[in-house]
Chains A and B, each alone.
Chain A
Amino acid sequence: MKHFDVVIVGGGHAGSEAAWIAAQMGASVAMVTLRRDTIGVMSCNPAIGGLGKGHLVREIDALGGLMGQAADAAGIQFRLLNRTKGPAVRGPRAQSDRVLYRKHIQSALASLSNLHILEGEATDLKITHGRVAGLVLADGSEIATSRVVLTTGTFLRGVIHIGDVARPGGRVGDKASVAMAQRLESFDLPLGRLKTGTPPRLNGRTIDWRQLEMQPGDEKPSLFSFLSDSVTARQISCGITHTNAQTHDIIRANLEKSAMYGGHIEGVGPRYCPSIEDKVVRFADKDSHQVFLEPEGLTTDTVYPNGISTSLPQEVQLAYVRSIAGLHDVEIEQMGYAIEYDYVDPRALRLSLELKNCPGLYLAGQINGTTGYEEAAAQGLVAAVNAVRASRDLESITFSRKDSYIGVMIDDLISRGVTEPYRMFTSRAEFRLLLRADNADQRLTALGRDLGIVRDDRWNQFTEKVEAIDAARATLSAMMVSARDIAGTGAKLNVDGPKRTALDALTLTDFGFDELRDIAPETPVLPEKIAEQIKNDALYANYIRRQEKDISAMAKDEATIIPQDTDFAAIGGLSNELVQKLAAARPESMAQARRIDGMTPAALLVIAGYLKKIEAKKAS
């Protein structure tokens, strides 16, 4: 029987990233997937990044992950969202060519000699003494391993709904995984049901583009990977159109035929990605919604209409789509559908993404209740890192909320669970001003190097960048400029204020390197990325200083470990409700306990007091 250090089940975005990371770390890795040719496929919208999500991709890249470079290679339209807002909340986003993306992922994985890709359906886990011992495939073959990462996406008991027609399936054209879902149930895991939806896919040749407003990409594209210099694929524009009163009338008249509104779906869908039925019902006073027409690639005519996902019957889909400007003669290539699937309540996981109840089994991606390629890939990375480390008897790595969006997401999932498909937003990160897309490398690349993921080319480039930034900072700290000169450039400040260093002057919102050079010609000429980084750090410096107390408080909470065998009922002074919640969540640290729903400051005091007491007992 073959033996692997780590086996990845699934070849979507979580699975691909997990396989890449585990192999980069030097482990012997197997990936089990239903079909080799669907590895890295984009099942939903053909885009990577966006607000919050772009941050995740940058972080994955900074750690030496795969997604950033694949998105750059496949990008056919790059836009930096929130360009006019603060740099902390800018999010790189790219329209992707589906084929190029998939090919990049597949060839990257194929290049790894220690990764073996097996076609087949994983149906069962071998458990010995309560630990994972191997994986069983549908054909009866077995793989010996003590670390399995499950990334089954929407395939666990997936059901596809179009109108009142429902059939099992993990994605259109693919079958669902029922056997594995049943196996998971036997571990007594808290399973829930979620749903998500996609819009109908349109034939681009039947769209009247002349009627539509076109949106080109940015002139200067913001790429994802710190290693990328320029775009490689041809760049295109997206179309913009709008639903209208007639569209809404058609939808309203057929609401009861929708799978969602006809009562066929029990799963909870995301509030931030509502179907067009949802939009029409919940925002009845609006008679128009924006629709982006996004080409799915350079070599296909398929167009993804972003903003009108639906589970209405075929004839209704066709009718409402054709009521939209520019789409009067459109042909639908594939109907929109809603998909319902099982997820595991992520509170059953440790921060390493290992199941508390089943050592050796890790979960990543939509199976944990998240949505989005970026969220999935980030979890794949975390699970793979920890699975490999565990196989080497090394401590697990915890990503902190104060260091990364990855940490924010993992902590949110494990401490709070999900009530709807979880996606990243910048507002989820309390230290958002610190966790920027532009400094992801400075936050994480050293960690990636320590973990053995970051290769020499990335590491050398990174250390050069850090040295350049340090040198430039030293120069700018030694330059003095007067308040009067600064005000002369149009920046708002008190002209009678004291002289300040050039670095300090850059903390002003409306004062940048161009202005600085106007009043101080000796200002060094810096590469754009270096200058941008220094300006961004300076802009937020005062705010970040204010957050330092919170950051160190969080660090202290994270360092205060709560033993996994803690009997919360025995602590005393905690309400029954909280005792139950704590027992269910089994927080690993005070930081996690703090985030449990319903936690009170008084209860935290009680727990902290208890921990001190047992520590004192241990010490004596």
Chain B
Amino acid sequence: MAAGTIFALATAAGRAGVAIVRISGVDAFGVAGRVMSSVPADRGLRQIHDLNGALLDQALVLSFAGDASFTGEPVVELHLHGSPAIVRAVLSALDQAGGRPAEAGEFTRRALENGRLDLAQVEGLADLIDAETEAQRRQAMRVFAGGLGDLAEGWRASLIRAAALVEATIDFVDEDVPVDVMPEVRQLLKAVQVEMTTQVAGVAAAERIRDGFEVAIVGAPNVGKSTLLNRLAGRDAAITSHVAGTTRDVIEVQMDMSGLAVTLLDTAGIHQTTDFVEKIGVERALDRAKQADLRLFLIAEDEALPLPLQKGDLVVQSKADLGNYDGLAVSGLTGDGLDEVVAQLTDELQQRAGSAGVAIRQRHRLAMQGAIDQISTVLDAIELGQLPDLLADDIRHAIRAVDMIVGRVDVEDLLDEIFSSFCIGK
């Protein structure tokens, strides 16, 4: 990891109202000071010049001390006029002034290394920047704001309290400690277990919010799947023709449905075929459709479904323009019934997204599952009247699992908890 004072354009490249150049590093003030008369203590308007004194732009300059900045280092921000030429000239001046261009992700990395962000927050930040839909933005914001860290801190505090109770019965045997600590230990452990279980259940939904729900449109050839997809997507994403079996590959169309990222899969018509290429298409279609989050079966008349119906799947009569049907029916050609299908689809997806918590990655889920299992072990051991030193070791392992999410545990924390709670002093 290279050291030094780094700089980069923090806003998107190109013409814009404002372009922000960020400088971070031990010598950020020194580097910035070489392209302006003086770095303001807080904020101020400054003329930016190159090292020969030529005026480049007039900018709003903000400065942050190391303990108040995003990276944990001194930071100076130049809010320039958003012209590519100005930005280029200022970046070049900063280079000559002793800074160096930042590598990808280097600002965030410094924030992590300086303890300004925990690992979960960095993940949240990455997602926040990548967020395209409103739900993704909200979710990333929750994680970035430390939602998961806060939760883990709470669990950690409860588990440390439980461990401290057990430790107190070990290390302060002749003292005035509570006689039977186990009811409280059990209560603390169970509460954490319940909360974690809720979060684990929400991880799958959170992943869907981040990566998008997959909805497969399934139906026999020429039933109008591609037409429907095109209508939904509002553009010609799939080839539409009247010859059965046109869509040989799986076509994906990404769209934003009421703030949720959705990938619609248009699958090859599902039917018996001898055409080798088409057969591959059919197999692929079945495979993808099975794994999708939701299936939208588009069927004509009373056809049998080509795949078992899963919870939440929609069954839609195709070619509604050719007849009258009860239930969902849609015409890819005229668009009749489309609104109804979209409404049902988003309803279902939003319901699923609603269960998402602040744990949004498999890494989080695995760590929490580990802790949940470990807590079960401890609860069983309490029932069996296991030795307290073994209980304490099991609880420590549960704490370690929680700490996998954001931080780490220390025996000093245990002792602090013991001392703040009990009268100890023989």
Contact = CB atoms under 8 A, between A and B. Distances in A.
Contacts of A598: 115
A593 B387 CA distance: 33
Interface string B90-134: 000000000000000000011011110001000000000000000
Contacts of B415: 425, 427-428
A576 B115 CA distance: 11
A570 interface: yes
Contacts of B407: 601
Contacts of A278: 425
Contacts of A426: 170-171, 389
B423 A571 contact: no
A381 to B, nearest CB: 23
A571 B3 contact: yes
A274 B114 CA distance: 38
B392 interface: yes
Contacts of B390: 86, 433, 509, 540, 543
B303 interface: no
A81 B423 contact: no
A314 interface: no
Interface residues of B, number: 45
Nearest to A605: B113
Contact of B113 (A282, A576, A603): A603
A133 interface: no
Contacts of B419: 271-272
Scoring B167, B170, B387 by chain A CB atoms within 10 A of each residue's CB, the highest score goes to B170
Contact of B110 (A89, A307, A573): A573
Contacts of B4: 572
Interface string B151-195: 000000000000000010111111010000000000000000000
Interface in A105-129: none
Interface residues of A, number: 51
Given A427-B414, A575-B66, A602 B425 contact: no
A574 B174 contact: no
Contacts of A570: 3
B171 A572 contact: no
A400 interface: no
Contacts of B176: 283, 286, 289-290
B160 to A, nearest CB: 12
B2 interface: yes
B326 interface: no
A416 interface: yes
B412 interface: yes
A432 B408 CA distance: 19
B388 interface: yes
A378 interface: no
B73 to A, nearest CB: 8
B171 A282 contact: no
Given A86-B390, A576-B66, A600-B115, A271 B170 contact: no
Contacts of B277: none
Interface string A570-605: 111111101000000000000000000010111101
23 contacts: A51-B170, A51-B171, A51-B173, A82-B173, A85-B387, A86-B387, A89-B170, A272-B419, A272-B424, A279-B425, A282-B423, A290-B176, A509-B387, A543-B390, A570-B3, A571-B3, A573-B3, A574-B114, A575-B66, A575-B73, A575-B114, A576-B73, A606-B113
Interface of B: 1-4, 26, 66, 72-73, 109-110, 112-115, 119, 167, 169-174, 176, 384, 386-390, 392-393, 396-397, 407-408, 411-412, 414-415, 418-419, 423-426
